[in-house]
Amino acid sequence: MAKSRKNTIVLSILFFGPLLFYLVLLTGTNNFAKLPVLTPGINDVEGFSSTDSVSLKKNISVLCFFGSDLLRHKTNALNLNEKIYKHFYGFKGFQFVIVLPKGAEEDAKQLKKELGATYNVDKWHFIFGDKTQVETMFNSLKTGYKLDNYSYSPYAFIVDRELNLRGRNDEEAAEEGLLFGYNAESVATVHQEMVDDVKVVMAEYRLALKKNKREI
């Protein structure tokens, strides 16, 4: 009987421990480190064509550049959909914005249909511009990364509500190439680093909202 009770307690700790830690992260005031701003005031996406109205301002966005041959890189989208999107799409003001060259519209429809087989993908937004527009948008991130000849980058970027690029600036992150963006070709990178960093940005804004309510 005692052994059974002990097993129950251990299982409860294992199950609820991570959840309690996350709740502390969300409800604490000064007990977690904010995710650094690496590039303030990046470009918004006005001027790009889209089937719906899209803006980075006042949203927490995962920003990606999948290129004109995006179906070759749909594994990136599947990784992000599974590890990031499904956990956060219920949060108000959270979105994915995929920047593509004009001409990729039909492939984007196909990819969104595939992604929608498992989740509601209303917050996946595909926007289109000419090659110069895409490059200008990418360069505004000031990452040091480069787009390839198809306007593709493997990196996914976290952009906050004030159009600031967020990421890591510690030595370990820099060595892994995670200083500005997260390599979406790697499930481990998305799962181990990016999920945590999106949580931190979400927590920051929850705390800010609570603080504003208390001060009103």
Domain boundaries, the chain: 1-31, 34-215
- Domain over 34-215 is classified CATH 3.40.30.10: yes
Dump the DSSP string for 11-66: HHHHHHHHHHHHHHHHH-SSSSPPPPEEESS----TT-B-SS---STTSEEEEEEE
* pLDDT(70) > 50: yes
Instruction: Answer left, alpha or beta for residue 45, where phi above 0 means left and psi between -120 and 50 means alpha.
Output: alpha
* pLDDT(190) > 50: yes
Kindly state the tokens that stand for 207: 């705390």
Rounded to the nearest angstrom, the gap between the alpha carbon of residue 113 and the centroid of all alpha carbons in its chain is 20
Q: What is the pLDDT of residues 158-181, one digit of tens each?
A: 999 999 999 998 766 666 666 799
Q: What is the pLDDT of residues 115-155, one digit of tens each?
A: 999 889 999 999 999 999 999 999 999 999 999 999 999 99
Contact 137, 45 (CB under 8 A): yes
pLDDT for the residue 20: 45
pLDDT for the residue 211: 61
User: Residue 43 and residue 83: Cα distance in Å, rounded?
Assistant: 26
Compute the average pLDDT of residues 3-25: 50
Q: On the CB side of 154, how many CA atoms lie within 13 Å of its CA? A: 11
Averaged pLDDT score across all residues of the chain: 85
